[in-house]
């Protein structure tokens, strides 16, 4: 499913993730510590609304999903179901790590979990602002090939936001695998279209959310410190030399 979403801003994301700059404090919620202090509702206001359910553009997106549904294979469905849960280890294969018996990477998991928490909260605010229905709720011929999405909202795709956030982190840590990671991000996000649970525009908005949030995180000293620690840990596990700091 490579190439589902344009990568026109990928360089900007990665430079922002790797940057070390003055920052803001940590926003606390019940889930635990956070890197971001930006208000989720204010963040949601930075997004344009999706197209209306009865618009010609939405019809084109629905027809695209029906075409993908007609050609999806059993192997594609099985892989999409395996990727249903958000887990950074789903990206280990393209790094050359054994996903079945991965090394102990506590710094990486801690960073990924905190970033995921921030992404989830802010994406949820955008979902609630626009409350877009899932494609199969508009077009009954669409048959989802994954479960656990009933009753949830469509725009933006949280799965896409997670995918592009995690791959941006991993690419900042292991730029040698940037091409493979980018393709994996597209696959992970694109499965949501192939399975009929998201529009293409949902994926694009999810990618935009990841970019915006990671740019804000790159201003936070604690994030930069955690990124540096996770980078050293991961590169050691891969047998790679320390990453030279960006100038």
pLDDT at 246 over 50: yes
**Which pair of structure tokens corresponds to residue 96?**
């050359």
What confidence score (pLDDT) does residue 16 get? 46
| Greatest alpha-carbon span in the chain | 54
* Cβ–Cβ < 8 Å for 231, 246: no
Q: Which residue stretches of 22-105 are H helix?
A: 40-44, 56-71, 74-82
pLDDT digits (tens, 9 = 90+) for 121-165: 999 999 999 999 999 999 999 999 987 666 689 999 999 999 999
φ, ψ at 149 (rounded to 5°): -125, -5
Whether 30 has a pLDDT exceeding 60, the answer reads no
Q: Domains, the chain, ranges and CATH?
A: 10-237 (1.20.144.10)
| DSSP code for 226 | H
Tell which residue, 3, 65, 19, has the closest CA to residue 214.
Answer: 19
Q: How far apart are CA 192 and CA 167, in angstroms?
A: 17
pLDDT on residue 8 = 43
Per-residue pLDDT reduced to its tens digit, 44-81 = 999 999 999 999 999 999 999 999 999 999 999 999 99
In eight-state DSSP terms, residue 2 is T
In this structure, of 18-22, 58-62, 114-118, 164-168, the range with the lowest mean pLDDT score is: 18-22
> How confident is the prediction for the chain on average, in pLDDT?
87
Per-residue model confidence as pLDDT tens digits over 170-190: 999 999 999 999 999 999 999
* Spatial separation of the C-alpha atoms in residues 94 and 75, rounded to whole Å: 18
Q: 126 with 205: CB under 8 angstroms?
A: yes
* Confidence at residue 22, expressed as pLDDT on a 0 to 100 scale: 29
Give the confidence band of 99 by pLDDT, cuts at 50, 70, 90.
Answer: confident
User: Which residues, at least 6 apart from 109, have a Cβ–Cβ distance to it below 8 Å?
Assistant: 88
Q: Is the pLDDT of residue 18 over 90?
A: no
pLDDT for res 148: 63
pLDDT confidence of residue 60: 98
What residue spans of 84-240 are helical by DSSP H? 106-130, 135-138, 158-173, 178-194, 200-217, 221-237
CA distance 232 to 7: 26
Share of the chain above pLDDT 70, in %: 85
pLDDT band at residue 2, thresholds of 50, 70 and 90?
A: very low
Distance (Å, whole) CA 239 – CA 223 = 24
68 or 15, which is more confident = 68
Q: Which of 194, 229, 189 is nearest to 71 (CA)?
A: 194
Predicted local confidence at residue 194, as pLDDT: 95
**pLDDT of amino acid 147:** 78
């Amino acid at each position: 499913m490579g190439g589902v979403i344009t990568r026109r801003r990928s360089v900007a994301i990665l430079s922002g993730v790797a940057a070390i700059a003055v920052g803001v404090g940590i926003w606390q919620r019940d889930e635990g510590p956070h890197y971001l202090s930006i208000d989720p509702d204010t963040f949601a206001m930075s997004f344009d609304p999706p197209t209306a359910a009865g618009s010609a553009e939405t019809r084109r997106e629905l027809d695209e999903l029906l075409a993908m549904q007609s050609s999806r294979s059993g192997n594609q469905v099985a892989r999409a179901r395996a990727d249903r849960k958000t887990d950074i280890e789903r990206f280990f294969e393209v790094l050359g790590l054994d996903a079945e018996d991965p090394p102990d990477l506590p710094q990486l998991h801690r960073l990924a979990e905190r970033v995921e928490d921030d992404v989830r909260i802010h994406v949820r605010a955008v979902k609630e602002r626009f409350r877009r229905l899932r494609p199969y709720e508009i077009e009954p011929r669409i048959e989802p090939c994954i479960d656990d999405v009933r009753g949830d909202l469509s725009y933006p795709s949280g799965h896409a936001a997670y995918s592009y956030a995690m791959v941006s982190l991993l690419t900042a840590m292991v730029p040698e695998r940037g091409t493979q990671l980018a393709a994996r991000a597209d696959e992970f996000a694109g499965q949501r279209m192939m399975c009929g649970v998201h529009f293409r525009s949902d994926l694009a908005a999810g990618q935009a959310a990841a970019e915006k949030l990671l740019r804000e995180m790159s201003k936070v000293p604690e994030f930069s410190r955690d990124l540096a620690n996770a980078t050293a840990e991961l590169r050691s596990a891969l047998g790679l030399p320390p990453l030279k700091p960006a100038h």
